Each structure stands twice: as C-alpha cells, then as structure tokens.
Amino acid sequence: MISNKSKLIASAALASVATFSHLSVAQDNSYPSERLNYIIAFGPGGGNDLMSRTVVDILNDYDLYGGQNIVVANRAGGSGAIGYSYVKRQQGNPYVATSTSGNFITTPLIADTDWNYSDFTPIALLASDAMFLVVREDSEYRSVDEFVEAAQSSRIIVGGTGSAGPSRVVASLFSDEAEIRLEYVPAGTGGEMVTALTSGSVEAIVANPSEVAGQIAAGNFRALAFSDAQRSDIYPDVPTFQELGYDFTFALPRGVVLPGGVDADVQEWWISALKEVVETEEWNKYLETNSLSGTYLWGEEFGDYLQETSEVYESTLRSIGAIE
C-alpha cells in the first residue's frame, strides 16, 4: 500500500516535472504550443470581463496567439478572491492568464486571501482607471482652487462609491494634500452616487469617468480634476490634481498578469504580443467607449506600479481606519 506521504511526494514530483516542461517550452522557442486558459475573476458583463474579452478577441482576430485556442472562463466570487487564488495556484504555468483591476489591489488588503499582487508575473498595464472630482454644472465651484477655498471655511459633503474603494482613497489623498476636511458619504452603487449629486444631497462626487460620462456629455456635470499622472485621453481639458499643485496621483491598474514563476522568455513573449494588441483600432475603440486612458507599462515596470499602488492604498485605508 502506498502511504499518504508517498502520494504527496509523487504529486510534488509530477508538479515539478509539469512546471519544468512548461519552462522548457519557452526556452526552445515553441511557445505557445498549448491552449491558453484566460481566467476572469469576476462575473460576466463587468469592467474586468469586458476588458479581458476585448484582449482575447484581439488576440484571436489578429492571430497573435500562434494559432492556439484560448478558453475564457469566469471564476467569480469574493471580490476577485476566488479567481485570483486559482491563478496564483498555477505557479509556473505559462498557459494561464488573468486581468487585473481595482480588486486585484484592494481585496488582499481588506480580506484574508492567500495571494496578493506579488504572487503573479507582471506582463502589462494597459489602461488607467483613475477618478474625477465632479460637481454639477450649476455649482458655484468652477475650479479646484475655489472648491478648496470653500472647504477651508465650511463643511463640504463629497460622495463616492463604497466606504473603502478608490473614491474614498482619492477623496482622502486630496483632502490631506489640500489640508481641508471633507465629509465623505459612501453610496452603494455608481448610479446612487450620481443621483446624490443630481439631487444636491452631496456637493461633489469622486467618480470613475465611465460613471459620469453621460452626465458630462449632457452638460449636467463638470469634472474639476483627474487623479491620474497624465490627463485623460478622452477628457484632455480636465487638469490633473498634480498639475494644479496637489501632489498626488492615484489610478487602479487594468492590465494582464500570469502566475508567478513563469519563465522570462514567456513574459517577454506576452509583452510583445500585447504591444501589438494596443496598436489595434479595436483596442482604442474600447478605451474611448469606456472613458479609459491608454497607459502602458511593461514587465517589471508594471510590477513596480502594482507595488506602489498597493502601498498607497494600504496607507490610506489605515489612515481612515478602514483596516488596522
């Protein structure tokens, strides 16, 4: 009879052989030679799902995955925890990929997960998901400086989605940098947040551009500032907080990662492939439709960005008491 210990040793050996086999594939220049499993850590129809399927469609349509099949699977649950945990456990496997989003950073900080950003091989940041400070078009605040001046002498109520999401983080970073106090009121959904501003329940909101694009286009809302390092490609007239003298930036990463331990040749292959993806008309149409800025970082530069973003997020959540 084979003991449980022997079975575990045998399983570990097989896993090592499988990993070595995957790495050898990259080293003999035959990558890709297998089906790719593209895991989406969220349900159908959301922002991460849309970006992931856009990338996969372009890879297929332009035959950028070497003629091999790509299977897309949604593994939703736990604000991304289930899907990302599955990918993390595929250590060394170059035939599994996933897309990052805000929850890729936030979920490990506020929940007990078995992974964080450092457990993955960074491939590419493809778009920045940054935030606007938005007021109604009839607001007395025509600029960020006017907004700050008013906040120095009176209470201003600012809305956003979630009590510990990117809206709250940007509001906190802005108030610290401007040395003002804002009363933050969380909404359950982006629609509720927009309604709060429309009704006058709040004087401003911190919102993703896609959440307020319709109201801006209709002339109902006005964006005062943008939280990314550069101006939005879609809204080039909206200044960044940083260029206005408020020295902070914050954007959540929409990108692609593979499991940790993937061979460097595979990482470079993916970087080259995604550089072709972002040159397509389809990708740029996706950016425009979803009010995203095409922001590109490759390989370890993307890894550094993930680390910096996680550190800023964690520091802010600790300062507002959202985590201990």
Share of the chain above pLDDT 70, in %: 91
In this predicted model, what pLDDT tens digit does every residue of 95-151 receive, in sequence order? 999 999 889 999 999 999 999 999 999 999 999 889 999 999 999 999 999 999 999
Mean pLDDT score, 304-318: 94
With beta carbons less than 8 A apart as the criterion, state whether 125 and 302 touch: yes
193 contacts 207 by C-beta, under 8 angstroms? yes
**Residue-wise pLDDT tens digits, 45-70:** 888 999 999 999 999 999 999 999 99
Long-range CB contacts (within 8 A, 24+) of 241-248:
241/133, 241/144, 241/174, 241/177, 244/144, 244/145, 246/144, 246/174, 246/177, 246/178, 247/177, 248/173, 248/174, 248/176, 248/177
Domains and CATH numbers, the chain: 4-129+251-319 (3.40.190.150), 132-226 (3.40.190.10)
What pLDDT sits at residue 23? 44
Q: What is the pTM of this model?
A: 0.82
